[in-house]
């Protein structure tokens, strides 16, 4: 081992002082980096400012930049009208357009009423329920967009230090029933519609949450997605599902998602004649090509609409290779094991710049991502399906098998 005198040549105390100084700086820097990254601290760009940017009504209103608003001891009046204890005038705040539409938070703050704080005081003790998130769903039937909404509840709960499993959800929209509603009920506390609230109740905390489109999960330019691993654990735990940690190369688990024309999608049934885009023309040929490329495998084909979320997640948590055409079902790449590979396929004329949702999810999870896009119009069909040449499947799947198993 080198002694200190050999570093300094045994000459000056000034040199020894600068070595000591260097060591102190290194220790301080290492400590800073340790605390900065220990919790995988989310980048500030994700939730733009995770601090209150405006406070009103004696602290009963807290606005977090453009992202969300917290009301304390507030009541639901009707529709998107709420009342907050306030002795002075109600504050004003400008929420910007995002994703080409006005923020619902702008309407909600315009519809905000004040009520006498003295009444609030007497109510606090008696009627306060805990935290409720007010949510305007947009594409409530779509797994990707709905997951962005779940993620928003999760991230905001981390910021407000709330137990996500316990928070209540109030839908402020009139979306028709869809199968994802049961997932909301599994993940969170009470889930109800704005027309079914007890108007007398004072809520300890009401969170007006951001819409799904402005979720960090929908911001594909972010270098990382805050809390991505914690969110995965949260969802799998809610369903009691254990993630697999090792691949068995003598029995590789491959899952192929098949897309079906719309069943549960209220708008599309009329607007697009119920046809879903990006289907495989030759499902059976694709299945047998996967088996040719990876003989030691179990290949599961999935029509997600026919499965419960518990069934979907238990397949995903055990999938080594997930294969599918670009579509909301590939959102499940968030729930596959850490070693898994995503193989995503695209029809012709699909811009890689726009359709980068799942490439980005894979990047955020450090998963291997493989892509193929058709460039031959003769392989596209009127029912919006694409013929995928078997040699494409065989070549890509052989590559993936080598990547995973050699």
Ligand X SMILES: *[C@@H]1O[C@H](CO)[C@@H](O)[C@H](O)[C@H]1NC(C)=O
Q: Which residues bind ligand X (CB under 6 A)?
A: 163, 165-166, 174, 193, 195-196
In the complex, the smallest distance separating the C-beta of residue 56 from ligand X, rounded to whole angstroms, is 30
Strand partners, 115: 85
Contact between 90 and 114 (Cβ < 8 Å):
yes
- Please, which residue, 60 or 158, has the CB nearer to ligand X? 158
Closest to ligand X by CB, 192 vs 369, is 192
CB of 194 to ligand X, least distance (A): 8
Nearest approach in angstroms of CB 400 to ligand X is 38
Write out the E strands in 196-310: 203-208, 252-257, 279-280, 297-302
Cβ contacts of 285 within 8 Å, gap of 6 or more: 388, 390
Q: Within 10 A of 150 (CB to CB), how many other CB atoms are there?
A: 23
User: Whose Cβ is closer to ligand X: residue 53's or residue 165's?
Assistant: 165
Q: Which helix (H) or strand (E) holds 229?
A: helix 228-238
% helix, strand, coil for the chain, step of 5: 40, 20, 40
Strands 279-280 and 385-386, by their bridges, are parallel
CB 189, min distance to ligand X, A: 8
Nearer residue to ligand X within complex by CB, 187 or 210: 187
How near is the Cβ of 202 to ligand X at its closest, in Å? 21
Task: Select 165 or 376, whichever has its Cβ closest to ligand X.
Answer: 165
C-beta of 198 vs 311, nearer to ligand X: 198
**Strand stretches in 148-296, DSSP E:** 168-171, 191-193, 203-208, 252-257, 279-280
* CB nearer to ligand X: pick between 98 and 193: 193
Q: What's the closest the beta carbon of residue 264 comes to ligand X, in angstroms? A: 15
Residues 6+ away with beta carbon under 8 Å from 273? none
Please state the closest distance from residue 64 (CB atom) to ligand X, in A. 23
Q: Do 337 and 322 form a contact (C-beta atoms < 8 A)?
A: no
């Amino acid at each position: 081992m080198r002694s200190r005198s050999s570093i300094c040549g045994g000459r000056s105390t000034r040199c020894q002082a600068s070595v000591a100084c260097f060591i102190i700086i290194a220790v301080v820097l290492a400590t800073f980096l340790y605390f900065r990254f220990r919790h995988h601290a989310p980048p500030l760009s994700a939730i733009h400012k995770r601090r209150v940017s405006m406070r009103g009504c004696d602290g009963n209103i807290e606005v977090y930049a453009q992202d969300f608003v917290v009301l304390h001891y507030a009541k639901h009046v009707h529709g998107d009208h709420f009342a907050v204890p306030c002795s002075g005038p109600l504050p004003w705040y400008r929420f910007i357009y995002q994703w080409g539409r006005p923020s619902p938070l702008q309407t909600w703050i315009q519809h905000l009423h004040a009520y006498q704080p003295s009444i609030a005081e007497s109510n606090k003790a008696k009627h306060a329920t805990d935290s409720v998130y007010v949510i305007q769903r947009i594409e409530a039937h779509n797994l990707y967009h709905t997951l962005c909404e779940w993620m928003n509840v999760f991230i905001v709960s981390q910021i407000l230090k709330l137990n996500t499993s316990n928070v209540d959800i109030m839908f402020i929209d009139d979306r028709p029933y869809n199968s994802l509603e049961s997932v909301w009920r599994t993940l969170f506390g009470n889930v109800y519609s704005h027309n079914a609230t007890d108007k007398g109740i004072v809520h300890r905390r009401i969170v007006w949450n951001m819409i799904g489109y402005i979720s960090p999960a929908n911001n594909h330019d972010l270098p990382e997605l805050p809390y991505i691993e914690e969110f995965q654990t949260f969802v799998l735990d809610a369903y009691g599902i254990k993630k697999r940690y090792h691949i068995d190369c003598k029995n590789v688990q491959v899952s192929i998602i098949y897309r079906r024309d719309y069943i549960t999608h209220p708008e599309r049934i009329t607007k697009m004649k119920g046809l879903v885009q990006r289907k495989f023309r030759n499902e059976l040929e694709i299945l047998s090509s996967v088996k040719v490329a990876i003989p030691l495998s179990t290949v599961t084909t999935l029509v997600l609409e026919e499965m419960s979320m518990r069934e979907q997640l238990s397949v995903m948590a055990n999938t080594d290779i997930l294969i599918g055409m670009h579509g909301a079902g590939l959102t499940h790449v968030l729930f596959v094991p850490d070693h898994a590979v995503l193989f995503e396929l695209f029809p012709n004329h699909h811009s890689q710049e726009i359709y980068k949702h799942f490439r980005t999810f894979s990047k955020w999870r450090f998963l291997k991502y493989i892509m193929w896009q058709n460039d031959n119009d003769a392989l596209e069909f009127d029912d919006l399906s694409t013929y995928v040449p078997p040699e494409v499947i065989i070549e890509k799947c052989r590559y993936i098998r080598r990547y995973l198993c050699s």
